[in-house]
Amino acid sequence: QKEVEQNSGPLSVPEGAIASLNCTYSDRGSQSFFWYRQYSGKSPELIMFIYSNGDKEDGRFTAQLNKASQYVSLLIRDSQPSDSATYLCAVSSLGGGYNKLIFGAGTRLAVHP
Amino acid sequence: DVKVTQSSRYLVKRTGEKVFLECVQDMDHENMFWYRQDPGLGLRLIYFSYDVKMKEKGDIPEGYSVSREKKERFSLILESASTNQTSMYLCASSPYRGWTEAFFGQGTRLTVV
């Protein structure tokens, strides 16, 4: 069973701080990595994706990928209370000739004023 | 914007009933997915489809079936609902086989009593 692991949290950070969310995955052949944000009672929405080793920045968000360590992370700079949500890591995994998205259980982030 | 619409936001069904969950996407996406989401377990893939009349089992297909008669519509069927199928069900679509960025519907919270 290919797995994606995340710390469930809650991760509590003060407003304005950097929030660091981490994810490890078991399938060494995975090629694509996604971060979704899910507010309580809502469906997941894509915030970032990354394919290559290194960093990818989009506004206050930075995704980091290290394929050798099978590790992907999401940094949120200048955290705001509106960032409080569950963050889901998803990994594209090839199985039976098809790509599937495998999700972690998510990390709950709480940004307090 | 991509729109994925699920037919019901909330459903209450009795044990043993046959239940249909409908999902429609309006962006001509090839791929469609059904997930269920439970606390602490994250999103788990039930079934997916890469083409009309095509279906593939995900990680937890037992007790479910699917139908894709038209490209835009993907239905999840609970043949005989049981209380352990009480969950949030999420439909998603993505553009084509090699790209697994997924867009989610609003979710259906199903309660089986």
Does pLDDT of A96 surpass 90?
Answer: no
Q: Tell me how close the Cα of B2 comes to any Cα of chain A, in angstroms.
A: 12
- What would the mean pLDDT of A52-58 be, rounded to a whole number? 95
Q: Residue B102: CB partners within 8 Å, gap ≥ 6?
A: A34, A46, A90, A101, B33, B92, B93, B94
Q: Rounded to an integer, what distance in angstroms lies between the CA atom of residue A57 and that of residue B86?
A: 39
- What would the mean pLDDT of A83-110 be, rounded to a whole number? 87
* pLDDT at residue number A97: 67
Greatest pairwise CA separation for chain B in angstroms? 40
Test mutation, A6, A40, A43, A46, chain B, max B CBs within 10 A: A43
Range 26-45 of A in CB contact (< 8 A) with B: 32, 34, 42-45
Q: Tell me how close the Cα of B1 comes to any Cα of chain A, in angstroms.
A: 12
Residues of A within 8 A of B105 (CB-CB) are: 43
Q: Print the SS3 string covering A26-78.
A: CCCCCCCEEEEEECCCCCCEEEEEECCCEEEEECCEEEEEECCCCEEEEEECC
Q: Tell me how close the Cα of A32 comes to any Cα of chain B, in angstroms.
A: 8
Per-10-residue mean pLDDT, chain B, length 113 = 88 97 94 92 91 90 96 96 97 79 93 98
